[in-house]
Structure 1
Amino acid sequence: MEALRLILLYVHLIGFALLLGGSIAQYASGKLRINAAMLWGAVIQLLTGLGLSAPLRGGGDDEPAPAKLVTKLVIALLIFVMVFFSRKRDVVNRGHFLAIVGLTLVNAAVAVFWR
């Protein structure tokens, strides 16, 4: 089961890289829109996050707190909704786009700093 958890974690990090890297590349291009990397990153993050939160291990002290998991799930759902429903627009509002980037960074911060 540990191997499965590590594979899910690896794919989860790839999703993060797609979401953040895609948004930075799009921001640098000057045209704020949702690209395929952002959409796939949000989907991968949500699905692998759900897989990682499943009780794959037998419990113990290294299990994350339920409040942390709920917080990360809510943020991931917000990111997914913001990306999914804006994906067909030619131009996305600057505040909306920066909120996606900000929430992505906040979600990573929750993962790293909340123990």
Structure 2
Amino acid sequence: MEALRLVLLYVHLIGFALLLGGAIAQYVSGRLRINAAMLWGSVIGLLTGIGLSAPLRDGDEPAPAKLVTKLVLALLIFVMVFFSRKRETVNRGHFLAIVGLTLVNAAVAVFWR
């Protein structure tokens, strides 16, 4: 089970990299829109996050409040990305909120013990 958890964690980190990297690439280009990397990153992050929340460890489970917080953040990110994916340009505040929520989600994972 530990090997499965580690594979899920690895894929989860790839999803985070796709989401954040895609957003930074769009921001640097000056054209704020949702690209395929952001969409796939949000989908991968959400699905693997759900998989990681399954009780795969013996006695070392994360706090339920942390899991719910991360799920809510991941759902918000996914919804914001999914429903904006076909727009030619995305509002600057909306785009920065996606980036901010992505960073907050990573901070919850790292700093909440």
**C-alpha distance in structure 1 between counterparts of 2:31 and 2:40, whole Å:** 19
Distance in 1 separating the partners of 2:28 and 2:106: 21
Distance in structure 2 (CA, Å) of the matches to 1:104 and 1:20 = 7
Q: Which runs of 5+ in 1 are unaligned?
A: none
What is the match of residue 112 of structure 2?
Answer: 114
Query: 1:53-97 CA distances to partner (integer Å, 9 max, x unpaired)?
Result: 01122xxx5210000000000000000000000000000000000
The CA RMSD over aligned residues, in Å, is: 0.6
Task: Deviation per CA, 1:7-62: give whole Å up to 9, x if none.
Answer: 000000000000000000000000000000000000000000000001122xxx52
**Structure 2 unaligned blocks of 5 or more:** none
What percent of counterpart residues are identical?
90
TM-score normalised per structure 1:
0.96
C-alpha separation in 1, matches of 2:38 and 2:52: 20
Aligned length in residues:
112
Structure 1 runs (4+) deviating above 3 angstroms are none
